[in-house]
């Protein structure tokens, strides 16, 4: 293999790898917007190398598609989409449809490039009779905060449940308040994903019935949906109702994680005693540390408030082949808080936090510039929370996309 070909192959491999890092970083508690933008620049540098290589760059991407991974799909899509080569487009799409994870790479590419470049492909997908293609087009349109037009109505009444669920989510993300009746009509849908999507979007848009359904899901048996619901309930419900729901969760020993997520989203220091108490329980300690940070803005790792991982603690898959628990550690990226050091910090700084006030990253939400400051310099998890708060304050506006390319976000006033 020639030296030039080796370099081209390295560009293809590194572009996919950097995208995977970036894909994880957008939801991570240890990346802010500036750091996300640096990752974006690394991705762009490798994409530039592949583009300059021309046909050889495209062929290197095609070889990588055999791995059936979303990063490789993203890279190939970024080379294929700007042009009008239908063969390249179909090659990418066939690879993207292998499974939902690979489709995410194509969706990311549609959201990454300028809307003028992505729009023809998005419109083509929305016009397709294939529910999978239509769904990807819908997600691509929402990524640019663009209303899909009549295609959204088609998706809302489609028999394909994943497509309908995605359309229901789009209503909330886009602030399409004129479509709230469609949310109400799906609150009792037999498909759980559709029911959740209708409740989530309706709660963002202030629909009382949707809030009731999402509250029920927060208390329900489906842990994954309950955790997602809890994050929004703490922000969408009136403060007294949110705290009442928190106490229901806190009273159930099996729902401690949900309670902590709600505590962090409610942001009222009156809940800090519960949060501090849970730091002593290994399976909840890191989640409690995150809730504490959401309220106070304390960076546990940066301020050296970390503890060692407890001995014999196990989370996520074990090496035992007979162990049926294959779920990943949900707190893998979170630091272990040291309760004694945090108690010392509270003794000095705790009086600055007033009960009955909502805080995010240590700042009262009532202050005019809090959300803007968090979106500008906060970590990604805080920024996602700030985006929800902005959305709840202006229901007709699109949800600010904290996963968009960093430079695109930085250009927003």
Whose structure tokens read 């419109």?
123
Q: Which positions ≥6 away from 407 have C-beta within 8 Å?
A: 37, 40
Name the nearest CA neighbour of 168 among 324, 33, 157, 353.
Answer: 157
SS3 category, 336: coil
Question: Could you give the percent of the chain with pLDDT greater than 70?
Answer: 97
Rg, C-alpha atoms of the chain: 22
The C-alpha torsion from 4 through 7 and 13 to 14, rounded to 10°, is -150
What's the whole-number mean pLDDT along residues 140-161?
95
pLDDT at 327: 66
In the numeric block, which tokens belong to residue 62? 């095609």
In the numeric block, which tokens belong to residue 239? 């403060």
- The structural domains of the chain, with segments of one domain joined by +, span 1-113, 125-218
SS3 category, 364: strand
pLDDT at 323 exceeding the cut of 50: no
In the numeric block, which tokens belong to residue 73? 């799909």
pLDDT at 1: 57
Whose structure tokens read 């592949």?
50
In the numeric block, which tokens belong to residue 275? 């949060």
Whose structure tokens read 């470049």?
117
Whose structure tokens read 């936090």?
353
CA distances from 160 to 97, 132, 163 (A): 16, 9, 6
Question: Could you give the percent of the chain with pLDDT greater than 90?
Answer: 90
113-127, 204-218, 313-327, 386-400 — which is least confidently predicted?
A: 313-327
Q: Does domain 125-218 have CATH number 1.25.10.10?
A: yes
CA 163 – CA 43 distance, rounded (Å):
30
């Amino acid at each position: 293999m020639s030296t030039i070909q080796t370099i081209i192959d390295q560009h293809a491999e590194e572009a996919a790898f950097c995208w995977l890092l970036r894909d994880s970083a957008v939801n991570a508690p240890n990346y802010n917007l500036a750091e996300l933008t640096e990752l974006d620049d690394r991705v762009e540098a490798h994409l530039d190398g592949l583009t300059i290589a021309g046909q050889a760059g495209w062929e290197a991407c095609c070889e990588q598609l055999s791995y059936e991974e979303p990063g490789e799909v993203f890279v190939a899509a970024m080379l294929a989409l700007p042009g009008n080569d239908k063969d390249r487009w179909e090659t990418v799409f066939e690879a993207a449809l292998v499974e939902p994870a690979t489709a995410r790479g194509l969706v990311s590419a549609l959201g990454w490039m300028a809307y003028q470049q992505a729009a023809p492909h998005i419109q083509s997908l929305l016009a397709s009779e294939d529910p999978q293609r239509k769904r990807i087009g819908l997600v691509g349109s929402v990524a640019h905060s663009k209303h899909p037009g009549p295609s959204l109505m088609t998706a809302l009444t489609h028999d394909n449940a994943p497509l309908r669920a995605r359309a229901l989510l789009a209503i909330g993300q886009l602030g399409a308040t004129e479509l709230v009746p469609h949310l109400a009509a799906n609150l009792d849908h037999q498909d759980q994903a559709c029911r959740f999507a209708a409740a989530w979007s309706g709660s963002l848009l202030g629909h009382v019935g949707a809030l009731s359904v999402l509250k029920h899901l927060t208390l329900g048996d489906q842990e994954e949906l309950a955790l997602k619901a809890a994050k929004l309930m703490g922000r969408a419900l009136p403060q007294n109702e949110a705290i009442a729901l928190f106490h229901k969760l806190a009273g159930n020993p099996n729902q401690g994680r949900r309670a902590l997520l709600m505590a962090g989203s409610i942001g009222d220091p009156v809940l800090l005693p519960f949060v501090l108490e849970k730091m002593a329980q290994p399976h909840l300690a890191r989640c409690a540390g995150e809730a504490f940070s959401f309220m106070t803005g304390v960076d546990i790792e940066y301020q050296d408030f970390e503890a060692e991982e407890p001995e014999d603690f196990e989370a996520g898959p074990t090496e035992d082949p007979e162990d049926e628990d294959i779920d990943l550690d949900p707190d893998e990226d979170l630091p272990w808080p040291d309760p004694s050091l945090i108690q010392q910090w509270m003794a000095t700084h705790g009086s600055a936090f007033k009960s009955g006030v909502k805080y995010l990253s240590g700042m009262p939400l009532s202050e005019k510039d809090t959300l803007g400051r968090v979106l500008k310099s906060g970590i990604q998890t805080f920024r996602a929370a700030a985006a929800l708060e902005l959305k709840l304050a202006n229901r007709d506006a699109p949800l600010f996309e904290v996963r968009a390319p960093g430079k695109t976000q930085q250009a927003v006033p």
